[in-house]
Amino acid sequence: MPYRPFSEQNCSIANALAVVGERWSLLVMREILFGRSRFSEIKRNLGVAPNILSDRLQQLVEHGLLERRPAGGGGESHEYVATPKGRAVSPVLSALLRWGDDYAVPEGGPPRIQVHVPCGHDAYPRLHCSYCGEPIGPGELQSRPGPGATPKQIADGILPRTAGTPTA
């Protein structure tokens, strides 16, 4: 599927989805971040058609999330490695995993539990305020116009206008 930017929208979420929003893209990133670096491993774990996987890998390489390298041992085999930009997708996947555990968990409970490497304990990452350090819950964020706002976004002011209504 061809890359389609959301050029009519001045929105960081839309811009992010233009890079990782195609079906399979985040699951491909999950596999890479789990350490599965070869095409055959990723295909086997996802059950995705080879042409679709090839397309997603190419897009993720073009957008700088992955690097394609020759695999060790010679031959024409390649592996895919996350770049710093690709590794930065990890918190997004953690947030989706947490939401899935809370609202879309399969019968029997979560299939995977995240573990905080430095302390070795199960981790349930949460969003925290960068200023006061307090956890941020649903409905505790509003969005104000930033330096790249359009005149319409500036006129809209702070959204949502009513505190307690969640925003992105």
What pLDDT sits at residue 121?
97
What pLDDT sits at residue 6?
76
Residue of 35, 28, 33 whose CA lies nearest to 58: 28
CATH, domain range 1-88:
1.10.10.10
Residue of 93, 72, 73 whose CA lies nearest to 81: 72
What pLDDT sits at residue 1?
47
- Span 31-45, pLDDT tens digits: 999 999 999 999 999
Question: Can you give the pTM of this predicted structure?
Answer: 0.86
- Span 79-107, pLDDT tens digits: 999 999 999 999 999 999 999 998 998 78
What pLDDT sits at residue 138?
87
Q: How do the pLDDT tens digits run along the chain, 168 residues long?
A: 455 667 789 999 999 999 999 999 999 999 999 999 999 999 999 999 999 999 999 999 999 999 999 987 777 789 999 999 999 999 999 999 999 998 998 788 999 999 999 999 999 888 999 999 999 998 999 999 999 999 999 999 999 987 665 556
What pLDDT sits at residue 168?
61
